[in-house]
């Protein structure tokens, strides 16, 4: 098993964040088109930003790569730029989600191709988890690097402190050099009695979805266990340019655990205890955060009286709470979720009902981000839309109305060139105009600063 160990100065290490999929388990903050990794759950930074920042100084942030869906590439880039990461190759976009095995294989091949290197160490982790003890996390990263350099495929196993039925488990076997345990098996989410038995056994760990391995090691395993996927992905990366949706759709949709980790003889689990949570429910978020003297987790503009052991989040307005306990209250500009804290995981059932009703609130927020900028709906009814546009310098907002509409456009900053029905109109900052819009309208920011406009139609 032992391979030639490279020195730290020789070894290039790439943190790879998996940021695909959509999120509804933390509705109404996360939504189908607004996954939780891009949400500012409890403060002014997103989970994606926090996940990257806590890697420093254990890993070089300049080498970070983020795998995400094509629909979220632009917004993810904005989040990364806000924390100083603007590397051209940092975002690896998938045209369609195909689960974690293709995502990891794509990242591995892309990194070797873009960096023009023969090998590298990859540290793969979800983009939306929370870790309480960062110093201990960094110590485990160092141990994982040592194990990976010996040819092992390392997964971080969280030492459980209670019988959780919402996580998968990893059963460890005998020790290997470097502090890891050989993997006996992966097991799905157990019932409560089975989870209690796992705790008593002492050699079962929560499956964190975090890994470390050499690129050469993981590619060998992909070639062995997923030869068809490897050949197709190699052809996709070799071709270069935008990835074909049809070609990517043709890849098997399979998790990394099932495709590789459950089959390989190189897998080891590294027992870890650093305050990890996958923030899969509102109750798990509550458990992971500091409490006030009444056992409450409160963020935003909240006034509480005689309130205990509750999670209260206000995003856009005052929330006043009286004489409650063990509650979840999450307020956003267009939706409020209220639940018993212990049963708040049932929010997924609420989202299913909203989908059946065709409600927009389960899909998108009032503020939506795009490559050209953003649009925030201040009011949206069947008869009236009032929106605030932010258009980046020299970018263009375009829309085709469903029916003839009367538009009123008021510029608050920068100048615009408005094109409609074959005619161009120049509009200066601070001025407004009205148009009868029956076909596509384009508003281009012709200035060097962000354009702010209020659109009413």
Residue 113 · residue 228 · CB < 8 Å? no
Measured distance CA(46)–CA(393) in Å, rounded: 25
Number of H helices, E strands in the chain: 11, 27
CA dihedral 248, 252, 256, 261 (to 10 degrees): -140
What pLDDT score was predicted for residue 1? 54
Q: pLDDT tens track of the chain, all 457 residues? A: 554 454 444 689 999 999 986 667 899 999 988 888 998 887 789 999 999 999 999 999 999 999 999 989 989 998 999 999 987 789 999 999 999 999 999 999 999 999 899 999 999 999 989 999 999 999 999 999 999 999 999 999 999 989 988 899 999 999 998 889 999 999 999 999 999 999 999 999 999 999 999 999 999 999 999 999 999 999 999 999 999 999 999 999 999 999 999 999 999 999 999 999 988 889 999 998 999 999 999 999 999 999 999 999 999 999 999 999 999 999 999 999 999 999 999 999 999 999 999 999 999 999 988 889 999 999 888 888 899 999 999 999 999 988 888 999 999 999 999 999 989 999 999 999 999 999 999 999 999 999 999 999 8
Sign of CA dihedral 213, 214, 215, 216: negative
Q: Which token pair is 230?
A: 């490897």
User: Is 119 within 8 Å of 222 (Cβ atoms)?
Assistant: no
pLDDT for residue 23: 66
pLDDT number for residue 8: 47
Q: 134-154 in b/e burial notation, b at 16+ Cβ within 10 A?
A: eeebbebbebbbbbbbbbbbb
pLDDT of the residue at 24? 77
Q: What pLDDT is attached to residue 384?
A: 87
| Residue found under tokens 């099932």 | 258
Provide CB contacts within 8 A for 452, sequence distance 6+.
388, 389, 390, 411, 412, 413, 414
- Res 4: pLDDT: 47
Q: Where are the domains of the chain?
A: 13-277, 294-357, 367-456
Which pLDDT belongs to residue 7?
A: 46
Exposed / middle / buried, residue 185 (Cβ in 10 Å: 0-12, 13-18, 19+)? exposed
Q: How far apart are CA 213 and CA 147, in angstroms?
A: 8
Rounded Cα distance between 16 and 388, Å, is: 35
Give the span between the Cα atoms of 422 and 403, in whole angstroms: 18
- Please indicate, yes or no, whether the overall pTM of this predicted structure exceeds 0.85: yes
State the helix-helix crossing angle for 215-225 and 227-239, rounded to 10 degrees: 120
Fold classification of 367-456 is Jelly Rolls (2.60.120)
pLDDT of residue 235: 97
Structure tokens at 4: 């030639």
Q: Which fold has domain 13-277?
A: Spore Coat Polysaccharide Biosynthesis Protein SpsA; Chain A (3.90.550)
User: CA 448 to CA 392: how far, in whole Å?
Assistant: 8
Burial class (CB in 10 A: 0-12, 13-18, 19+), 208: buried
The pLDDT, as a whole number, for residue 381 is: 83
The backbone torsions φ and ψ at residue 247, rounded to the nearest 5 degrees and listed phi first, read: -65, -40
List of residues 6+ apart from 57 with CB closer than 8 A: 138
Q: What residues contact residue 68 under an 8 Å CB cut-off, 6+ apart?
A: 19, 20, 76, 91, 92, 93, 94, 127
**Sequence-ordered strand ranges (E) for 392-450:** 396-399, 405-413, 416-420, 423-427, 432-437, 441-445
């Amino acid at each position: 098993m032992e391979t030639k160990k490279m020195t730290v100065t020789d070894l290039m290490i790439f943190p790879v964040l998996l940021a695909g999929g959509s999120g509804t388990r933390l509705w109404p903050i996360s939504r189908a088109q607004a996954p939780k990794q891009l949400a500012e759950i409890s403060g002014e930074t997103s989970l994606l930003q926090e996940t990257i920042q806590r890697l420093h100084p254990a890993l070089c942030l300049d080498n970070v790569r983020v795998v995400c869906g094509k629909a979220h590439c632009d917004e993810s880039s904005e989040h990364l730029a806000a924390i100083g990461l603007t590397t051209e190759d940092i975002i690896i976009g998938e045209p369609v989600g195909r689960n974690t095995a293709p995502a990891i294989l794509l990242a591995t091949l892309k990194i070797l191709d873009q960096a023009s290197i023969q090998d590298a160490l990859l540290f793969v982790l979800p983009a939306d988890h929370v870790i309480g003890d960062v110093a201990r996390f960094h110590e485990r990263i160092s141990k994982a690097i040592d194990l990976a350099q010996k040819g092992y495929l390392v997964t971080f196993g969280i030492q459980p402190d209670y019988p959780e039925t919402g996580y998968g488990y990893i059963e460890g076997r005998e020790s290997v050099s470097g502090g890891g345990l050989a993997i006996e098996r992966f097991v799905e989410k157990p019932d409560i009695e089975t989870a209690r038995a796992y705790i008593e056994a002492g050699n079962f760990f929560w499956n964190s979805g975090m890994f470390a391995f050499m690129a050469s090691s993981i590619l060998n395993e992909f070639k062995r266990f997923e030869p068809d996927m490897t050949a197709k992905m190699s052809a996709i990366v070799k071709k270069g340019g935008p990835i074909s949706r049809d070609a990517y759709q043709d890849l098997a949709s399979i998790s990394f655990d099932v495709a590789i980790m459950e089959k390989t003889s190189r897998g080891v689990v590294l027992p870890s205890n650093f305050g990890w949570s996958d923030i899969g429910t509102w109750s798990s978020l509550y458990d992971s955060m500091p409490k006030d003297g009444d056992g409450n987790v409160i963020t935003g503009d909240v006034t509480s009286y005689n309130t205990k052991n509750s999670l209260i989040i206000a995003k856009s307005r005052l929330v006043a709470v009286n004489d409650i306990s063990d509650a979840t209250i999450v307020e956003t500009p267009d939706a409020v979720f209220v639940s018993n804290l212990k049963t708040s995981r049932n929010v997924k059932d609420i989202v299913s009902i909203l989908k059946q009703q065709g409600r927009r609130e389960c899909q998108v927020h009032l503020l939506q981000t795009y490559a050209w900028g953003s649009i925030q709906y201040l009011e949206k009814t069947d008869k009236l839309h009032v929106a605030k546009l932010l258009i980046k310098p020299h970018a263009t907002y375009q829309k085709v109305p469903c029916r003839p509409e009367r538009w009123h456009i008021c510029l608050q900053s920068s100048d615009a060139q408005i094109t409609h029905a074959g005619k161009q109109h120049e509009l200066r900052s601070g001025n407004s105009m009205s148009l009868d819009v029956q076909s596509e309208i384009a508003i281009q920011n012709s200035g060097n600063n962000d354009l702010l406009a209020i659109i009413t139609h």
